Structure 1
Amino acid sequence: MSQRVYVCGVGMIPFAKPGTSASYDQMGASAARLALQDAGLTYASIQQAYAGYVYGDSTAGQKALYQVGMTGIPVVNVNNNCSTGSTALFLARQAVASGAADCVLVLGFEQMSPGALGSVFQDRPSPFDAFDAVTDKLVGMSQIPLALRYFGGAGLSHMQKFGTPLTSFAKIRAKASRHAANNPLALFRKVVSTEEVLDAPVIWPGVMTRLMACPPTCGAAAAVLVSEQFAQAHQLNRQVYIAGQAMTTDTPETFESDDMMQVVGYGMSQRAAAQVYAQTGIGPDALDVVELHDCFAHNELITYEALGLCAEGGAEKFIDDGDNTYGGRVVTNPSGGLLSKGHPLGATGLAQCYELTHQLRGTAEARQVRGAKIALQHNLGLGGACVVTMYRQS
């Protein structure tokens, strides 16, 4: 896979609270049109499409894309939990890099319901049975929703290992709000202080307040990937390309380590990042900007270490020194992240791609990271899958 893959177009619609958005197909079609418009292409140029969503019936991708065009091309529907959007991106990048296609559309959308995530099918084994059993053993807390138990338990594991204070998670949420204030596509743009995060309603005493968790939202985002030859022939934007990408799944360590950080994908993230650094010859010290999977402030903190942005056990100092924001070593989640945008599962990975593409183009306006040339994307799905993607400015 030697062909360079360019991101020549991106599109994203503002995320919305459940019950206030358009339907999934309308959102998806809107995001696809925006990406095509940004690329300067029509749907007739697209040779393959990959559509990511979690909560929806089969062929929902066709339902969305048929509103944009009906050209008979392959449309592949992708479902990989919270990493769905990036998994679709992974497949599309492979198609272009291998020469199977020269111009591919990647779309992610989600029409969510209010409240905590839950299982839809109650008449068959859950993909999370093994995860739940380990979580019951390690943290209990059966009275709170599972996602909160998973990630709150991972944060608690870090606190117990390294003495990390609750304040560190609150500082992450406050940072997210400052970044989101400059993002017109973020749902929550009100700046909150560390103290306000700590004073928010308590979900898990000593471990989590409500503001430390991202809410479910509805939304869509899309990208157009092309080969270098196609980009040259059609005089397309070649400012941003995918320099490296890796996707990982769980190993026995997830269930055998008796560590909630491993249960929520710390090892997957670590391995995916290591593969990307090896592919590109570029390490974490060279990164300018990162969009990572902050479904909870706790996951952002442990992901700093999994991606090598700081040493293991070094997250508290990394945060206190301001190395995760503007003026620091690497700006994390300049979009405001999932904590401020919300988390429409299928759209999240493409929304990250949208943000980083604009950062490397220098078109991120008030949230622009000065001189950004190298960007990293981290998208995690329990069950499990993790996709890490490195983008570079041409």
Structure 2
Amino acid sequence: MSRRTRVAGVGMAPFATPRKARTYLAMAEEAIRDALRDAGIGYEAVQQAYAGYVYGDSTSGQNVVYQVGMTGIPVVNVSNNCATGSSALWLARQAVEHGAADCVLVVGFEQMRPGAITAQWEDRPSPFDRFDAAADAALGPDGSTPMAPRYFGAAGQAYAERHGTAPGTFARIAVKARAHAAGNPYAVFRDPVTLEEVLASPRVYGPLTRLQCCPPTCGAAAAVLCSDEFARTHGLDARVGVAAQAMVTDRPGSFAEHDMIKLVGYDMSAEAAAQVYEAAGVDPGDIRVAELHDCFTTNELLSYEALGLTPEGTAEKFVLDGGNTYGGRVVTNPSGGLLSKGHPLGATGLAQCAELVWQLRGQAGPRRVEGASVALQHNIGLGGAAVVTLYERMS
């Protein structure tokens, strides 16, 4: 039998640009200690640990966890590109749900370098060879644009051509992200920007301008998961739990159809969301707050439809009507999202978890979304993986 998984504690270190950031050790230790303090337990109660990061040597997870304690527990290092943090969370949730452990620590961290993401190992086959081949077939060869903005910019362009979406619609998502981040002390970019400023920033690819692309970021976040019994026995305030969670990877259609929207994970997101809604018995219309993977404004817009938050072909109306912000149907990325909070790859999924736990506890301060009893998390990584998690307030 499976057991319900509670989120007993969350913690986060403020995100920063690479030039201003501390080491991954310092950031991750802060996040772990905050999560343990939030849960109200000591590290000695933790039975397993999962550490997510993309840029770092093997066993960096142990290096981080050893800062807090050396109790001999299993420490598993996880890497799944931008979905790394949520992949670690997925593993930890399974350990609790299936009885392998009663209390598990999850931490995600990243110490990134300035500039666009590039391949780290150029002397061996790349996991993006098939992605590049599909993109070249759809767009023609391009040796000048970095991979990620090319993929996501082209996906946005394909959507715009299909539905007649104006460039300003994508840009409005960046304006919204900054407005939300203004109330988040953990976010990198909290100053407002105007629609005109976003559109006037340097062109990157398709409808994307520089202010519509997430920045390279350093940071860390952590969560403590536990069983119902562990929470009761230790008197923990674990009122938020995981109602359902799904991880999916690519199917052949991601590549065979030379469709840039599919290539960047639309179908993965839709499939994972459908599994979660069915397992939890929740309709997407019930969602009032969500943290979406807005690595680029184009992907946030695509995700509205992939996750069922608005019907296919209606994302522009959803944005223009303010359906994605306070006073609208669902507040997307109250934290500021990857665009403004930042995107340290390994930490992103755990930072999304922390934000949504704070939201459901009523601890999000000026960012609080009133009336939310469930919260949706969406995290994707090209290569590929999509993780969708639904949190709920439990009795």
Q: In the alignment, does 2:197 pair up with 1:196?
A: yes
> Per-residue displacement from partner, 1:166-194 (whole Å, max 9, x unpaired)?
11110101000110011111100011121
**Does structure 1 retain, via aligned residues, the 8 Å contact 2:15–2:219?**
yes
- 1:333 corresponding residue in structure 2: 333
Amino acid at match of 1:131: F
Report the counterpart of residue 348 of structure 2 in structure 1: 348
Cα distance in structure 1, aligned partners of 2:197 and 2:207: 15
Give the Cα separation in 1 of the matches to 2:332 and 2:222.
21
Task: Give the match for residue 46 of structure 1.
Answer: 46
- TM-superposition CA deviations, 1:300-355 (whole Å, max 9, x none): 00000000000111100000111100000000000000000111000000000000
1:178-197 alignment runs, 5 A limit? 178-197=179-198
Contact 2:96 2:103 in 1 (8 A): yes
Structure 1: any 5+ residue segments left out of the alignment?
A: none
Contact 1:158–1:164, Cα closer than 8 Å, also in 2:
yes
- Once the two structures are TM-superposed, the CA of residue 86 in structure 1 deviates from its matched residue by 0.1
Residue 20 of structure 2 is matched in structure 1 by 20
User: Any conservation in 2 of the 1:202–1:208 contact (CA below 8 Å)?
Assistant: yes
1:278 is matched with 278
Secondary structure of the corresponding residue to residue 380 of structure 2: strand
**1:250 matched to which residue of 2?**
250
Query: 1:302-313 residue pairs with structure 2 within 5 A?
Result: 302-313=302-313
Partner Cα separation in structure 1 for residue 20 and residue 61 of structure 2: 21
Q: Distance in 2 between matches of 1:283 and 1:195?
A: 36
Residue range with higher mean Cα deviation, 185-194 or 138-147: 138-147
Q: Deviations over 1:181-240 (max 9, x none)?
A: 111111000111212111112223x52110000001000000000000000000001210
Q: Is the 8 A contact 1:380 1:387 kept in 2?
A: yes
Deviates more, 1:1-10 or 1:381-390: 1-10
Residues 362 and 372 of structure 1 are in contact (CA less than 8 Å); yes or no, is this contact kept in structure 2? no
How many corresponding residue pairs?
A: 393
Q: CA deviation at 1:19?
A: 2.9
Structure 2, unpaired ranges of 5+: none
- Give the Å deviation of 1:142: 3.0
RMSD: 0.8
Structure-1 residue corresponding to 2:176: 175
Matched, 1:217 2:196: no
| Contact 2:52 2:107 survives alignment (8 Å) | yes
Pairing 1:235–2:202 present: no
What do the CA deviations read for 1:1-33 (whole angstroms, capped 9, x no partner)? 521100010000100111321211221111111
In the alignment, does 2:126 pair up with 1:139?
Answer: no
- After TM superposition, the score normalised by the length of structure 2 is 0.98
- Distance in 2 of aligned mates of 1:89 and 1:281: 21
Q: CA deviation at 1:139?
A: 2.1
Distance in 2 between the 1:336 and 1:98 partners? 34
2:298 aligned with 1:298? yes
Report which stretch shifted further, 21-30 or 329-338. Answer: 21-30
The C-alpha deviation readout for 1:266-307, integer Å capped at 9, x for no partner, is 000000000000100101000110001000000000000000
What secondary structure sits across from 1:13 in the alignment? strand
Partner residue, 2:160: 159
Q: Which stretches of structure 1, 4 residues or more, deviate above 3 A after TM superposition?
A: none
- TM-score scaled by length of structure 1: 0.99
Q: Among the aligned pairs, what percent are the same residue?
A: 62
User: 1:49-98: per-residue Cα shift (whole Å, max 9, x none)?
Assistant: 00000000000000001010000000000000000000000000000000
> d(CA) in 1 for partners of 2:182 and 2:133?
40
In the alignment, the residues of structure 2 paired with residue 37 and residue 128 of structure 1 have an alpha-carbon distance, to the nearest angstrom, of 40
The residue aligned with 1:9 is 9
